[in-house]
Structure 1
């Protein structure tokens, strides 16, 4: 079930290029997060209580707001393949943070599998003529770091509220943070939107945010955080495959090899020893536990794609 979230995020590039107005990635991020969060809050009729008045904004900033803002900078200053490859470092970052914040062991198996994931994504999306930009690289690394921190803190701070309520709080917090940034950088929304634009924004709100983030956060609740972030490597695989099948983009033998390496890495991460949390059977937390994608990774893209998703 958790894997469905990065699979959905892998469709974002196709939806963005085919249905949305060009050159408005921050607007897409706001429309994706804020309406979905308000919808979930309205459905659950729950507001934060106690420490969650500050925890929810912190997690929403890390998992959504700051993540998308930094990813936007990386996308505009780096080729999509470079940003996606840097984003593939996230499982390793989560494993290191989990060592300090959750007391989980950093094993050789996790390290080797994480490196294999980075190699696989680079073969899948990285072009030989890719250029590097210092600020873009820093933004891409920071986006992976803030998302990794959000994932680990979500595990450290279990919420007493229902999953959908916690998801809604964080989507609202991330959307509120992104709104002034989008207005400052891109200006006001377009005066008119086509039916295709509305369909694309509706997909990102309902499927790409409300459903996908709920699945992703549920996975963080039920699984060790490193296992969850390895599943995020599915996004560039899906994005590249859709680009090849639907948009007739080039698909090389090296990309096929990279895809196989990514799949092998994430399967190895899920089936290895130590996938259960120390002292607790997998999925033993109650339905109210916190589970906070960025994108995914949030969440990469094909060699022709932007990593904004």
Structure 2
């Protein structure tokens, strides 16, 4: 095995681990946010606090620890605004809009058709030929997601809800595609920080976090006071999740990352079962297995595409303590 091949294999393994880690952190948002919403907060209020607090924490952290990552070129701003508008604010807002008019399972299925949109973009816009196994694996993964979400449970259609769900899928696809494009010139922390800041500005206009009722923030829940859950969602489900997710896109192509990210609803369902005593049916378990199997097939089938290292910036030569944000291929 040549040195280049070893590097590709190592990058693919590291990228896969980062995607699954990001999915796990993203998946904690539902179980952590649900008790807060039960206590009296609306979904819009929760997501506004989540993104706004995360943006402030990440911006302060990067400014103190890695201030050079806050330097961006003039051309980068178009990518940053697009990422924040679509990949952050758009995906969050449209998903909750879909949930408000459709069963959660249907809304989740619509949003997580994003891997199909990414694959279509890569195939017909970038003119990249994808292996047949990649298409088959994506289809199996989406079918598994339908089983996990149990889309037939309380099935009803609402035109506005369906449009919102489709919009959430388009925005989620933009998260992968625009994020991947931005990483050609920016560090993962750069695009994550500014993307969250842009998203926070937009979401604050929809649901200003400073208008939250103080009595609800102090209300107790089975997992602790509401305010502690909001902090946990901001730190774990947002700051860490977005940073690790952007790092994964430096090591794997967007079509692979998008399919592997389908592990998120499986992990979320498992976490909800562990923390909130929500039951898992046999069909959901089988669907989770099918979803992960499909994602594995895509990851293996896309091996020739995986591990394509994006060119690092001159200032991108040192990683953080976690080791997940180091320059690919360097020790």
Conservation of the 8 A alpha-carbon contact between 1:7 and 1:238: yes
Task: Return 150-159 or 48-57, whichever deviates more.
Answer: 150-159
Task: Return 262-271 or 31-40, whichever deviates more.
Answer: 31-40
The aligned counterpart of 1:111 is 135
Task: Return 22-31 or 211-220, whichever deviates more.
Answer: 22-31
**Which of the numbers 85, 88, 91 marks the counterpart of 1:67?**
91
Which of these two proteins has the greater Rg computed from alpha carbons? Answer: 2
Per-residue CA deviation, residues 57-110 of structure 1 (Å, 9 max, x unaligned), is 111111101111111110100111111112221111101112244442233222
CA–CA separation in structure 2 for the residues paired with 1:5 and 1:12: 12
Counterparts of residues 125-274 of structure 1 (less than 5 Å)? 125-126=149-150, 127-183=152-208, 188-192=211-215, 193-194=217-218, 196-274=225-303
Q: Indicate the SS of the match to 2:135.
A: helix
CA–CA separation in structure 1 for the residues paired with 2:112 and 2:102: 15
Q: Which runs of 5+ in 2 are unaligned?
A: 1-17, 219-223, 317-331
- Offset, 1:245: 3.0
The aligned counterpart of 1:10 is 27
Deviating 4+ runs (over 6 angstroms): none
Conservation of the 8 A alpha-carbon contact between 1:31 and 1:201: yes
Counterparts of residues 256-295 of structure 1 (less than 5 Å)? 256-276=285-305, 281-286=307-312
**Which of the numbers 98, 102, 110 marks the counterpart of 1:78?**
102
* TM-score with structure 1 setting the length: 0.84
Conservation of the 8 A alpha-carbon contact between 2:108 and 2:149: yes
Count of paired positions: 284
* TM-score with structure 2 setting the length: 0.79
Q: Which runs of 5+ in 1 are unaligned?
A: 290-309
Conservation of the 8 A alpha-carbon contact between 1:90 and 1:148: yes
CA–CA separation in structure 2 for the residues paired with 1:245 and 1:199: 19
CA–CA separation in structure 2 for the residues paired with 1:52 and 1:81: 36
Conservation of the 8 A alpha-carbon contact between 1:88 and 1:117: no
